[in-house]
Amino acid sequence: MTRQLSLGAFLMATGHHVAAWRHPDVPADPLDFSVYRRAAQVAESACFDALFVADSVAAPSDALASHSARSVYFEPLTLLSALSVVTERIGLIATATTSYNEPYHVARKFASLDHLSGGRAGWNLVTSDAAAEAGNFGRQAHIGHAERYARAREFQQVVQGLWDSWADDAFVRDKATGQFHRPDGVRALAHSGEHFRVKGPLNVARAPQGRPVLVQAGSSESGRELAAQSAEVVFTAQPSLGAAQAFYADLKGRLAGYGRCEDDLKIMPGVYVVVGRSEAEAQDKAERFQALVDPRVGVALLGRMLGNFDLSGYPLDGPLPELPSTEDGQRSRQQLLTELAGSEGLTLGQLGQRIAGGRGHFSLIGTPTQIADQLQAWFEGHAADGFNILVPHLPQGLEDFAQWVVPELQRRGLFRTHYQGRTLREHLGLQRPANPYFS
C-alpha cells in the first residue's frame, strides 16, 4: 500500500474561527456536549486518525474576553472520556500542561483513558507560557522558558516510567491460587530528579497501546529538541509549503541523534479549511465568517497569540507595533506574524482579522479538488505526514470536510476508506513500545 496521510480533527468549542459562534447556523454554547458528539462521530465516519483538544488552565482576562466564546469549555480529559463511549475507533488526543500538573496524575488519567477507549489515547504535552495560568497555581509569574522545558523533559520521563510500571502480562488473575498479579510483574519507579520525586508504581495497568501516543507542538529550538527526543506526533503552524518543508527536514533530521527513525515521528501541520462546491462558494463562506469579526476582537486574539500583549491602545489602521522581544517560546509565532504583516502590508486591524480563522495556520479556501491538490503537494513534497484540520465552525465545518474533501483524498489513494486498526498507534503506523523493564 502506498504511504497514507493522517488526519486529525481539531475540536475547538464552536469552531476555530474566533467569530464562529456569531454565525446563525452555529450552536453558540461551548458546553453543549451534543456538538462534540456529533463532530466526533462525523470525524470517525470519515476515518480520521484522531480528535484533538487544546487546553489552557486559565480563562482569558483581556478587555475583549467578553466577546470571545473561548472563556469556558470542557476540561479535555473529561470530554474525551465521554467521547470514548460514543466512538469506537478514532483516536482521542488531549492537551495537558507539564508546568502546573503532577506527573502521577497525568500518567494516570491518560492510562485510564487508554483503557476506557481500548487503546485510543494520546497526550499533547505542552508547557504553559501564560501568566494567567501561573496565577491559578500559586505563582506570581509564569515559569521561564528554559526551566519550563527542563521540567517538561523530566515530567515526560516520569510519566513514561509510570506507564511502564506493569509488565504487559503481569495480571494472571488465577482464581484457583488467588494470585492476581505476578509479584515480579510490577516495579516502583523510584524517580528522584531536579523537579520531581515519584515513587510509583502507577495504579493503572499498562495501557493497551503500551503507552498513550505522545504528541507535542513546540516549534522553538527547545521544543524541537524535546520533540526529536520523545514525540511521536508533532502539530505545528507553518505559513507556507516552503516553511513547512524546512521545518519537516529539520525535525526529521534531528531524530537520528536520538537513535530514532524518520517513521517514529509524524509531522502534522494545522490547516484551516473552508470548502465549497465552487471556489466562489468557498470564498463566500469564508468571508461570511470574516465579516462577523469585530476588529477589536481580532486584535485582542492577536495580542494573546503574540505573547499576551495588550494591543488595544494601538490604532486599527496603523501598523503592527514594534513589540518587545519575547522569550524563545513565543518568538517563532511572533516572527511568523510579523513577516505576514510585512509581506502583505497589513494594518493591525487587518492582521487581526487575517488570523481570526486560522490563527496563524495555513489557510485553504476552495473546492475539494483545490484543497486536495494542496494537501497532496504538502504530503508528497516532504512537508507533512498528515494534517490537523481546523474548521471555522462546529460541527458543520467538519461535516463539509468529511463530505467533500475526504472522498477526494480517498479517490487519490492518499487516505483510508475504512479503519484497518483499532488503536491510535495502528492508525498512525506507530509501533507499540515494548516495556524496557520487563523484556
User: Per CB under 8 A, which of residues 17..46 are in contact with its own copies?
Assistant: 19, 21-24, 28-29, 31, 33
Residue of the chain from 45, 56, 350, 403 that contacts its own copies (CB under 8 A): 56
Residues 156-215 that bind its own copies (CB under 8 A): 165-166, 171, 173, 175, 178-183, 186, 188, 196-205
Site residues (CB under 8 A) for its own copies, limited to 366-405: none
Q: Considering beta carbons, is residue 50 or 113 the nearer one to its own copies?
A: 113
Residue 233 parent element (H or E): strand 233-236
Supply the minimum distance, in Å, between the C-beta of residue 433 and its own copies.
19
How many CB atoms are located within 10 Å of the residue 174 CB?
11
| Residue 135 binds to its own copies (criterion: CB under 8 A) | yes
In the complex, what is the shortest distance from the CB of residue 294 to its own copies, in angstroms, rounded to a whole number?
A: 5
| Distances, alpha carbon 112 to alpha carbons 18, 73, 107, 145, 416, in Å | 33, 22, 8, 30, 28
From the CB of 101, what's the least distance to its own copies, in Å? 7
CB 201, min distance to its own copies, A: 5
Annotate 244-281 with b (16+ C-beta within 10 A) or e (fewer).
bbebbeebbebbeeeebeeebbbbbbbbbbbbbeeeee
Q: Is 418 in the site for its own copies (CB under 8 A)?
A: no
Residues 410 and 301: beta-carbon distance below 8 Å: no
Considering only residues 276 through 295, tell me which ones interact with its own copies, judged by CB under 8 A: 292, 294
φ and ψ at residue 184, rounded to 5 degrees:
-90, 15
Q: Nearer Cβ to its own copies, position 158 or 251?
A: 158
C-beta of 430: minimal distance to its own copies in Å? 22
311: contact with its own copies by CB under 8 A: no
Identify the sign of the CA torsion 53, 362, 47, 32: positive
Q: Shortest gap between Cβ of 270 and its own copies (angstroms)?
A: 22
- 74 and 14 Cβ atoms separated by less than 8 Å: no
186 CB-near residues (< 8 Å, 6+ apart): 165, 166, 167, 170, 201
Q: Where are the alpha helices (DSSP H) in 306-347?
A: 328-344
Instruction: Count the alpha carbons within 13 Å of 49 in the hemisphere toward its beta carbon.
Output: 25
| The Cα angle at residue 149 between residues 210 and 322, in degrees rounded to 5 | 135
| C-beta of 208 vs 366, nearer to its own copies | 208
Among 41, 116, 254, 421, contact with its own copies (rule: CB under 8 A): 116
For the bound state, the minimum distance from the C-beta of residue 352 to its own copies, rounded and expressed in Å, comes to 14
Determine which residue in the list 16, 17, 38, 67 makes contact with its own copies, applying CB under 8 A. Answer: 67
Q: Determine which residue in the list 105, 312, 342, 437 makes contact with its own copies, applying CB under 8 A.
A: 105
